[in-house]
A and B are shown apart, each in its own frame.
Chain A
Amino acid sequence: DTGVSQNPRHKITKRGQNVTFRCDPISEHNRLYWYRQTLGQGPEFLTYFQNEAQLEKSRLLSDRFSAERPKGSFSTLEIQRTEQGDSAMYLCASSPTGGARNEQFFGPGTRLTVL
């Protein structure tokens, strides 16, 4: 399967714990995006990487959130000191460079539940 993969698919944690999610994009795609979806809403943009450079961050990404893409391939999203409001589906997407017609290919998401 050469699509976008995300791990883990589900994560249950207690409030105050740290969690880390991983995204493996399609190999030739150099753009990578993280989105978050809460119940009843569409996905909301969190952050964007072009290769290893993090070029844009949403104001939704508080200082408890950090994302990396160290070698321009896979990416990790870490949430420190989780809160119940962090419970959501975290989606990763990748696309090739440029072009209005370029699709973003999504992974299946990581569903986080904070107890």
Chain B
Amino acid sequence: ILNVEQSPQSLHVQEGDSTNFTCSFPSSNFYALHWYRWETAKSPEALFVMTLNGDEKKKGRISATLNTKEGYSYLYIKGSQPEDSATYLCAFRRGTSYGKLTFGQGTILTVHP
């Protein structure tokens, strides 16, 4: 059984605040770590696919880091905006899978104007 855990489960911040979430995953047989943003009534949107230990990726105000040896990834949002409100999901891909993703339960972010 693969355990992918995300924390916190939910987060309320004010517009302009910076925030970060954690995803922990098994450190053995690592292949890739995916981050998605899922807004209500829309498709989950891929943010990052991370494969190498020490990877850091950035997309606008959002960035992510990866530590495969200890099994965690952080997602950072700088200067949160109300449109950042969504559920943020991380998903672990094991080396022996066909691309099957094991998801965490998500972090629900609400940014208040």
Contacts and interface: CB of A to CB of B under 8 A. Distances in A.
Interface stretch (A13-21, A39-47, A61-69): A39-47
B89 A42 contact: yes
A100 B32 contact: yes
A48 B99 CA distance: 9
A101 B36 CA distance: 14
Contacts of A100: 31-32, 49, 51, 93
Interface size class of B (residues with CB under 8 A): 20 to 34
A45 B4 contact: no
Contacts, number: 66
A103 B34 contact: yes
Contacts of A3: 43
Interface in B66-89: 89
B43 A33 contact: no
A45 B46 contact: no
Contacts of A107: 43
A31, A40, A50, A106 — most chain B CB neighbours (10 Å) = A106
Contact of A42 (B43, B98, B99, B103): B103
B43 A103 contact: no
Contacts of B7: none
A4 B43 contact: yes
A110 to B, nearest CB: 12
B109 interface: no
Contact of A102 (B36, B44, B99, B104): B99
8 contacts: A43-B89, A43-B103, A48-B99, A55-B98, A56-B98, A56-B100, A101-B49, A107-B43
Interface of A: 3-4, 31, 33, 35, 40-45, 48, 50, 55-56, 91, 95, 100-109
